[in-house]
Amino acid sequence: MTAPKVLISDALSPAAVQIFKDRGIEVDFQPALGKDKEKLAEIIGNYDGLAIRSATKVTSAILAKATNLKVIGRAGIGVDNVDIPAATARGVIVMNTPFGNSITTAEHAIAMMFALAREIPAADASTQAGKWEKNRFMGVEITGKVLGIIGCGNIGSIVADRAVGLKMRVIAFDPFLSAERALELGVEKVELDDLLARAEIITLHTPMTPQTRNILSREALAKTRPGVRIINCARGGLVDEEALAELLKSGHVAGAALDVFVEEPATANPLFGLPNVVCTPHLGASTTEAQENVALQVAEQMSDYLLRGAISNAVNFPSITAEEAPRLKPYISLAEKLGSFAGQLTETDIKTIRIVYEGDVAHMKIKALTSAAVAGLLRPALADINIVAAPSVARERGIVIEETTREKTGDHDSLITLEVETENLTRAVAGTIIAGTKPRIVQIKGINVEADLLPRMLYITNHDRPGFIGRIGTLLGENGINIAHMQFGRDFEGGNAIALVGIDQVVGETLLKEINTIPNVVQVKALTF
Ligand SMILES: NC(=O)c1ccc[n+]([C@@H]2O[C@H](COP(=O)([O-])OP(=O)(O)OC[C@H]3O[C@@H](n4cnc5c(N)ncnc54)[C@H](O)[C@@H]3O)[C@@H](O)[C@H]2O)c1
Ligand SMILES: O=C(O)[C@H](O)COP(=O)(O)O
């Protein structure tokens, strides 16, 4: 196996380079490449992995050129510089490092709060200019002030903890913050309007989503307390910069500290040059400790995926540990084959997919197995579908996916049953793993029929009458088709029967039609796996 190749296109700590090398991965460290999208597009096709921070924009155009790419690793938190749907559609795993720079960023927000309260940057500039303006800089105390946190997740919680330590009164708006967690953090959970009306300092710590974009809009800013100070170390675009600039000029807002901007790199901005505005160039995560953390973590995660199939902190696929990956692999293959079997037999629109996981397999990562089953099911219609994209593609097509887990009920230690419902019919197929690695079908439409899945197969349904087996064998033999195995099942004597025939050659349309003319044959279909 040739060593996977990773490109680092942003300024990651060199610690990442060492990890990749130690793990036997070829690594190309080009920290300035993220700013050169033409060059990136030109070479991205050579790499299996791409490690980035926030400067590299992984657009759909870049992804279209990334023909070998399997994983994008974000050494940091925000993945808004990656086109996730486009990556997902191409089967590229996108992973981040959700905790490595949280403390550092929370500390930056706290530093910004002090910088605003005591006008440290302006006082520093004035002092170093030889002005000694002792009477110009009258600050405010932090103790006892009301801090309003918008978004109380990893970073917001650390800010809350530090602020409580500074004897501030902390209120938080976060629809997903539980009452228990708020109590544990010592913060009061409030609605946004309440926060706007009460906070003397507001700090933002939400991701950028359609709901949070412009959360401090002109209207929201108008509801804030006179003299409020605003800090944004989360994402540019959470605050209306134009409206904030006007309120700073009018004196309604006493100060604003911004680490992030609508347009980055920010070389011109409506807030630049206004009194008591403190700006840093997206430095929230920029400490030696945080950069070391995220670089090491992203390199380990990407190596684990490229070398062992383990997935952690992916934003577009369930996690799979390095220990789980080899155990899961045969079941992924089984789920994909069961899906493929049902998909090849289904010619009308699928409404619902029901998957039942029974026995040992019910305790595995069933989300990954469901993705594999859905990919197999959709592949006859969408040749390029991959396991990462499959569930979202199914949802876009209005297909309902239902999963159930239960303990072992029959002979098999593990059993996966896939049921597909269309307008006209419901078809179920079940399978298991034999000898630890081999996928095997064990039941079709409730009829027991055990067969290994070979690359070429015939699926035949017929009325259970004498003579069928001899005729099909003769007909295939006369046409030069070698039979590898032939398995039969029926619901009861003289009832409905199924034959699964593993074959070594392709059966053409003419021969399929001829098989259909054998007495009692209902349906024949050539399948490939
Ligand atoms: N400046 C920097 O260098 C820097 C560094 C790290 C992270 N960040 C950014 O900081 C932000 C927070 O990161 P995190 O790790 O704490 O994320 P997180 O996911 O742990 O927390 C985000 C919180 O926002 C809440 N939230 C979501 N939608 C909301 C809404 N509509 N209203 C209010 N709250 C909402 C969530 O419930 C969650 O608790 C992200 O945008 C991240 O990209 C910036
Ligand atoms: O989301 C993040 O982790 C921060 O915005 C840090 O971005 P950076 O890695 O480009 O400093």
Burial class (CB in 10 A: 0-12, 13-18, 19+), 405: middle
Best residue among 8, 35, 53, 313 to mutate for probing ligand 2, ranked by most atoms within 8 Å of CB:
53
* Residue-range domain boundaries for the chain: 5-98+289-308, 120-275, 319-451, 454-528
* Residue 282 annotated as catalytic: yes
Give, in words, the CATH class of 319-451: alpha beta
pLDDT for position 385: 86
In the CATH hierarchy, which fold is given to the domain comprising 120-275? Answer: Rossmann fold (3.40.50)
C-alpha 48 – ligand 2 centre gap (Å)? 23
Find the residues whose C-beta lies inside 6 A of ligand 1: 77-78, 98, 101-102, 105, 150-156, 173-176, 205-209, 211-212, 233-235, 259-260, 282, 284-285
Burial of 320 (0-12, 13-18, 19+ CB in 10 A): buried
CA-nearest of 386, 368, 379 to 340 is: 379
Do 319-451 and 454-528 fold alike per CATH?
A: no
d(CA 107, CA 174): 20
Residue 76 · residue 296 · CB < 8 Å:
no
User: According to CATH, what is the number of the domain 5-98+289-308?
Assistant: 3.40.50.720
| 3-state SS string for 92-135 | CEEEECCCCCHHHHHHHHHHHHHHHHCCHHHHHHHHHCCCCCCC
Of the bound ligands, which one is closest to the alpha carbon of residue 74?
2
Tell me how far the alpha carbon of residue 87 lies from the centroid of ligand 2, in angstroms.
Answer: 20
- Tens-binned pLDDT, residue by residue, of the chain (529 aa): 789 999 999 999 999 999 999 999 999 999 999 999 999 999 999 999 999 999 999 999 999 999 999 999 999 999 999 999 899 989 999 999 999 999 999 999 999 999 999 999 999 999 999 999 999 999 999 999 999 999 999 999 999 999 999 999 999 999 989 999 999 999 999 999 999 999 999 999 999 988 999 999 999 999 999 999 999 999 999 999 999 999 999 999 999 999 999 999 999 999 999 999 999 999 999 999 999 999 999 999 999 999 999 999 999 998 999 999 999 999 999 999 999 999 999 878 899 999 999 999 999 999 999 999 999 999 888 877 889 989 989 998 999 999 999 999 989 999 999 999 998 889 999 999 999 899 999 999 999 999 999 999 999 999 999 999 999 999 999 999 999 999 999 999 999 999 999 999 999 999 999 999 999 999 999 999 9
Three-class DSSP category at 402: strand
Select from 52, 205, 280 the residue to mutate for testing ligand 1; criterion: most ligand atoms less than 8 Å from CB.
Answer: 205
Tell me the C-alpha distance between 278 and 258, whole Å: 6
Measured from the alpha carbon of residue 96, the closest ligand is 2
412 is catalytic: no
Cβ(494)–Cβ(424) below 8 Å = no
> Whose Cα sits closest to atom 9 in ligand 2?
53
- The Å distance, Cα 95 to ligand 2 centre, comes to 14
CA of 239 to the centre of ligand 2 (A): 18
Q: Is the dihedral of CA 162, 167, 172, 178 positive or negative?
A: positive
Instruction: Give the angle 190-193-199 at the CA atoms, nearest 5°.
Output: 70
Cross-strand pairs, 8: 29, 51
**CA–CA separation, 74 and 53 (whole Å):** 6
Whether ipTM > 0.90 holds is yes
* CATH code for the structural domain at 454-528: 3.30.70.260
User: Annotated catalytic, 363?
Assistant: no
For residue 405 the two structure tokens come to 């887990």
Contact 401, 374 (CB under 8 A): yes
Q: H or E segment at 414?
A: strand 414-422
Q: Which ligand 1 atom sits closest to the C-alpha of 156? A: 16
Q: How many CB atoms lie within 10 A of CB 194?
A: 15
